[in-house]
C-alpha cells in the first residue's frame, strides 16, 4: 500500500509511456515541427526524443532539471486553453531522479550546443559540443535506482504497447507535426506533418480502414467538429478506435463516448464499437479537465450541446452515406 502511494505520488513518471509523453510535450512546447521518438526494450532501457524546436540556452540547461523549473509559467492558463496537464516544471526533475539522462541541445543563435549528463538526479557532465538546432533527450535505465517502482513495470512488450498507443494518439492529434517512431531500431510510424488527417489515419490503421471513412465537418453554438468516422462496416470489439481530441488534446469523455455509440447503435451489433477520429474546437471556458496529469477525463459546462452536436453530426453522416 505504501509503495503504491509512493508510485502515485511520483505521478509524472509512472512508466516509459509517461516519460515519452512528458518529453514529447516539451518538444511540442518548444515549437518543434519534427519529432523522433525511439525506444528499446519497451522504453525501460532506452528512450530518445529528438526535436527541431528552439533548444535550451546553455546556462538554462542545469536549471531545467530542478524541481519547479519551468519557462512556461505565464502560459499555463492559456496553454491549449486547457489548464494544468503536466506543465508544472516537474517532468525533467522527476525523470532525471530515476534514470540516467543525457541532453544535447542548441538554440538557433548559439554557436555551439551543450551536452549534459545527469544520473539519479546527480550532475555528471556539462560540456560544449557541436549539435544541430533543437534538443535530444535520452533516458536510459528507467527506475535503475528505485527497484520498488521498477517492479511495477510490465513486460517490455506491454510497455512498448503503451508507448505505441500514445504515439498514435499524438500523430492523430497533431497532424501538423512530423513524427517518426522507432521500436528496437524499426520504424513503426512516420507521418509527414502535412496536416492531412486521412494520411495519418492511413499510416496508422492501413488502407482498409481509410476506404471506409466518411469525412465529417460540423459547427454549432461555438462547437466545431472535424474529422472522419468509419462506416458501420468497421466494427471493433473494443473502444480503442474511438479517438477524439479537444483543442488538440487527446481526452476521454463519457458524454462523447455515449453520443458516438448511441448514434451508431441502429447500425451496430451489440458490443461492437465504431472507428471515429474527431477534432473538437471548443472555447476554453466551456471545458474543464481533471487536474490530475495522468487522467484525461474532460468535463463540459454545456454537456447537452456537446452531446447533441456529436449525435446529430454522426446520425446525419451515417444516414446520408452510400452503402
Q: How far from each other are the two terminal CA atoms of the chain, in whole angstroms?
A: 54
Q: Which C-beta is closer to ligand ADP: that of 7 or that of 69? A: 69
Q: How many residues bind Mg ion (CB under 5 A)?
A: 2
Considering only 20, 37, 39, 64, the residue that binds ligand ADP (CB under 6 A) is: 64
35 binds, among ligand ADP, Mg ion, none (CB under 5 to 8 A by kind): none
Residue 293 sits in the site that holds ligand ADP (CB under 6 A): no
Segment interacting with ligand ADP, rule: CB under 6 A, options 89-97, 182-190, 207-215, 242-250: 89-97
Q: Return d(Cα 264, Cα 204) in angstroms, integer.
A: 23
Considering only 13, 18, 19, 26, the residue that binds Mg ion (CB under 5 A) is: 26
- Least separation in angstroms between residue 106's CB and ligand ADP is 10
* 120 φ/ψ sector (left φ>0, alpha ψ -120 to 50, else beta): left
- Least separation in angstroms between residue 69's CB and ligand ADP is 5
CA distances from 305 to 38, 76, 134, 221, 277 (A): 41, 27, 42, 8, 19
Segment interacting with ligand ADP, rule: CB under 6 A, options 38-46, 70-78, 119-127, 175-183: 70-78
Do 249 and 80 meet the contact criterion of CB atoms below 8 Å apart? Answer: yes
Residue 92 sits in the site that holds ligand ADP (CB under 6 A): yes
Segment interacting with Mg ion, rule: CB under 5 A, options 21-29, 52-60, 161-169, 256-264: 21-29
Query: What is the largest distance, in Å, between two alpha-carbon atoms of the chain?
Result: 64
70-99 mask for Mg ion (x: CB under 5 A)? ---------------------x--------
Residue 27 sits in the site that holds ligand ADP (CB under 6 A): yes
Q: Which C-beta is closer to Mg ion: that of 91 or that of 306? A: 91
CB atoms within 10 A of CB 17: 21
Residue 71 sits in the site that holds ligand ADP (CB under 6 A): yes
- Least separation in angstroms between residue 59's CB and ligand ADP is 12
Residue 32 sits in the site that holds Mg ion (CB under 5 A): no
Binding site for ligand ADP (CB under 6 A): 22, 26-27, 30, 51, 53-56, 64, 69-72, 87-92, 135
Amino acid at each position: 500500500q505504501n509503495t503504491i502511494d509512493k508510485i502515485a505520488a511520483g505521478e509524472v513518471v509512472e512508466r516509459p509511456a509517461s516519460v515519452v509523453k512528458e518529453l514529447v510535450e516539451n518538444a511540442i512546447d518548444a515549437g518543434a515541427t519534427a519529432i523522433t521518438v525511439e525506444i528499446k526494450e519497451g522504453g525501460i532501457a532506452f528512450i530518445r526524443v529528438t526535436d527541431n524546436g528552439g533548444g535550451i540556452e546553455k546556462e538554462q540547461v542545469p536549471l531545467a532539471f530542478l524541481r519547479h523549473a519551468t519557462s512556461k509559467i505565464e502560459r499555463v492558463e492559456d496553454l491549449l486553453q486547457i489548464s494544468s496537464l503536466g506543465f508544472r516544471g516537474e517532468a525533467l526533475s522527476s525523470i532525471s531522479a530515476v534514470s540516467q539522462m543525457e541532453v544535447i541541445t542548441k538554440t538557433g543563435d548559439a554557436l555551439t550546443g551543450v551536452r549534459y549528463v545527469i544520473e539519479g538526479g546527480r550532475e555528471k557532465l556539462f560540456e560544449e559540443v557541436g549539435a544541430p538546432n533543437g534538443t535530444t533527450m535520452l533516458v536510459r535505465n528507467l527506475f535503475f535506482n528505485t527497484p520498488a517502482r521498477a517492479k511495477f513495470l510490465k513486460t517490455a512488450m506491454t510497455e512498448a504497447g503503451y508507448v505505441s498507443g500514445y504515439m498514435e494518439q499524438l500523430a492523430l492529434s497533431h497532424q501538423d507535426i512530423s513524427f517518426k517512431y522507432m521500436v528496437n531500431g524499426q520504424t513503426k510510424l512516420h507521418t509527414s506533418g502535412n496536416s492531412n488527417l486521412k494520411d495519418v489515419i492511413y499510416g496508422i490503421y492501413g488502407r482498409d480502414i481509410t476506404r471506409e471513412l466518411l469525412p465529417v465537418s460540423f459547427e454549432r453554438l461555438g462547437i466545431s467538429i472535424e474529422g472522419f468516422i468509419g462506416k458501420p462496416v468497421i466494427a471493433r470489439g473494443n473502444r480503442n478506435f474511438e479517438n477524439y481530441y479537444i483543442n488538440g488534446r487527446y481526452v476521454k469523455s463519457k458524454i462523447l463516448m455515449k453520443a458516438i455509440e448511441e448514434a451508431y447503435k441502429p447500425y451496430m451489433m451489440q458490443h461492437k464499437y465504431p472507428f471515429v477520429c474527431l477534432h473538437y474546437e471548443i472555447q476554453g471556458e466551456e471545458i474543464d479537465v481533471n487536474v490530475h496529469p495522468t487522467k484525461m477525463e474532460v468535463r463540459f459546462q454545456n454537456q447537452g450541446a456537446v452531446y447533441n452536436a456529436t449525435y446529430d453530426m454522426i446520425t446525419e453522416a451515417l444516414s446520408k452515406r452510400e452503402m
